[in-house]
Amino acid sequence: MPRLVIVSNRVADPRRPSAGGLAVALGDALQGRGGLWFGWSGHIIREGQPVEEALHVQQTGSVTLATVDLSQEEHDGYYLGYSNGVLWPVFHNRLDLADLDAGFVGSYRRVNQLFARQLKALLRPDDIVWVHDYHLIPLALELRTLGCAQRMGFFLHIPMPPPLLLAAIPQADWLVRALFSYNLVGFQSQGDLAHFASYAEVEAGARRLDGQRWQAYGRTLQAASFPIGIDVDDFAALTHAAEARDMYERMRQAYAGRRILLGVERLDYSKGLPQRFKAFAKLLKNHPENIRSTTLIQIVSPSREALVSYSGLRQELESLTGALNGDYGELDWVPVRYMHRNVARRRLPGLYRLARVALVTPLRDGMNLVAKEFIAAQDPADPGVLVLSRFAGAAEQLKEALLVNPYDTDGTCETIQQALHMPLTERQRRHQKLLERIRAQDVHWWRRTFLEALTATQGDDHRVALPSLA
Ligand code: ADQ
């Protein structure tokens, strides 16, 4: 079996207890066949440090972890500037937040070239290369330019925007050309695939060969949807372990007799947090029986705080929390418990299990794994209800959730009320179906089907001319 090479912006040591489901699943694949995981170390090069010191290679069992340091300028332009200041907002439909003309693309391209040079030296001819996410769209293009002919696949973890939104990025054509340097491109949903196909055909003149293959720029590309999942059994086991049970018991006592609405996510404007708080305020106003009997627990993990759009959001949430608690709070009850920090991964399932309703209401999301973790952590005899945004990739699969439009605060408020009062038999029926769905397409299924499809892609002339940067 050929060696597997995974490339992602950050490299996780899969054996660390803090590693999430994705790191563990990718780590399993690497352990199983031997492999290399390559990415940014998370460190910035010290001033005056020689560049050749910036590659770190570490062997753990049959897996090699290779990481590269970046300079401050590279990090700011590639990571904060282009990846998170241009691609992230546009791909999440937030053109208004995108810094389109700040010139970050130069650093983005230089870091992808640096990764390509460093990685090329470590590659073997029959390796299979699997690149992850928007930070590294042009990596295959840069590797091909250096003469690398290995089979290469790319998975986009975030949504693909509609063609006319993508077209607003001055380098949109270059990005799509770069995708054609891969043999296989995977998206989270059919909707994302349709957006890509439409851009490729209408804007880039690609010819569709069949349901999954397109021809453009002298290359043939296969593209399909591979919805990512979680390790359901592992998450269910975590739910029954000591830390999660302890969390469940402590919270059950602290919130005795109250129904919990729960939100858990990174602090990000794509997650629809202000809209959620407003829907909750409406719930208290329009359905006052929830006063004193219902609490919203919102846990937000710190994220990308160097960007203004993120620090502004933090202030907005703190102000909404203050207003809600000031308007509705009682001496012995606060409507919103807001926490800006991480919860230990092993304790999180206890919180999911306690919640009567999970609010997963992003304005846009590639998939959303919190929705799937919530389902896996429920007691099948007395399960909670999932309120899910129709704009999360997960909504394509999780049809038995209560789907909402998070921009519609009245509609979301009424759906939360419905979730809080859903009869037990309906909760059980919906949960059983949702559990079947996340089991059928779990993270192992995702990894297997992607790698099988990549391995089966037809050979192509892997050397493409470097398209000029628009
Ligand atoms: P994210 O945007 O980070 O991922 P998500 O899929 O929800 O979003 O994954 C978040 C993970 O972090 C979950 O495992 C969750 O448990 C954990 N987490 C979040 N907040 C936490 C907190 N406060 N404390 C502890 N843990 C917390 C991107 C895309 C998604 C896509 C994934 C995977 O944006 O759409 O589903 O990649 O492809």
Q: Which among 21, 11, 83, 32 has a CA at the least distance from the CA of 367?
A: 21
Nearest ligand 1 atom to the CA of 300 is: 23
Name the pLDDT band for 279 (thresholds 50, 70, 90).
very high
Nearest CA to ligand 1 atom 20: 265
Ligand 1 within 6 A of CB of 366:
yes
- The whole-angstrom separation of Cα 88 and Cα 271 is 13
Condensed to tens digits (0 to 9), the pLDDT of residues 141-199 reads 999 999 999 999 999 999 999 999 999 999 999 999 999 999 999 999 999 999 999 99
What is the CATH architecture assignment of 4-229+445-456? 3-Layer(aba) Sandwich (3.40)
Which of 157, 287, 340, 444 does the annotation list as catalytic? 157
Least confident range from 62-71, 162-171, 241-250, 379-388: namely: 62-71
- The whole-angstrom separation of Cα 72 and Cα 185 is 31
Ligand 1 within 6 A of CB of 370:
yes
Mind spelling out the 3-state secondary structure of 38-81?
EEEEEEECCCCCCHHHHEEEEEECCEEEEEEEECHHHHHHHHHH
Name the pLDDT band for 46 (thresholds 50, 70, 90).
confident
Helix (H, G, I), strand (E, B) or coil at 82: helix
Q: Is-catalytic flag, 157?
A: yes
Distances (CA, A) of 417 to 206, 282, 411, 452: 47, 10, 10, 44
Least confident range from 195-199, 238-242, 311-315, 435-439: namely: 311-315
Distance 265 CA to ligand 1 centre (A): 6
> Global pTM?
0.96
Range list of H helices, 261-364 = 273-286, 308-328, 348-354
Residue pair 394/386 in contact (Cβ under 8 Å)? The answer is no
Which residues of the chain does CATH 3.40.50.2000 include? 4-229+445-456, 232-440
Nearest ligand 1 atom to the CA of 271 is: 2
Distance 62 CA to ligand 1 centre (A): 28
Mean pLDDT of the chain: 93
Helix (H, G, I), strand (E, B) or coil at 162: coil
Q: Which among 207, 190, 211 has a CA at the least distance from the CA of 367?
A: 190
Distance 266 CA to ligand 1 centre (A): 7
The side-by-side arrangement of strands in the sheet containing 336-340 is 336-340, 294-301, 259-266, 357-360, 385-389, 402-404
Nearest CA to ligand 1 atom 9: 369
- Residue partners of 81: CB distance under 8 A and separation at least 6: 99, 102, 104, 107, 108
Mean pLDDT of 253-265: 96
- The whole-angstrom separation of Cα 372 and Cα 350 is 15
What is the CATH architecture assignment of 232-440? 3-Layer(aba) Sandwich (3.40)
Model pLDDT, residue 305: 83
Condensed to tens digits (0 to 9), the pLDDT of residues 110-128 reads 999 999 999 999 999 999 9
Residue pair 304/80 in contact (Cβ under 8 Å)? The answer is yes
Name the pLDDT band for 81 (thresholds 50, 70, 90).
very high
The residue among 104 and 31 whose pLDDT is bigger is: 104
Torsion sign across C-alpha atoms 305, 308, 313, 315: positive
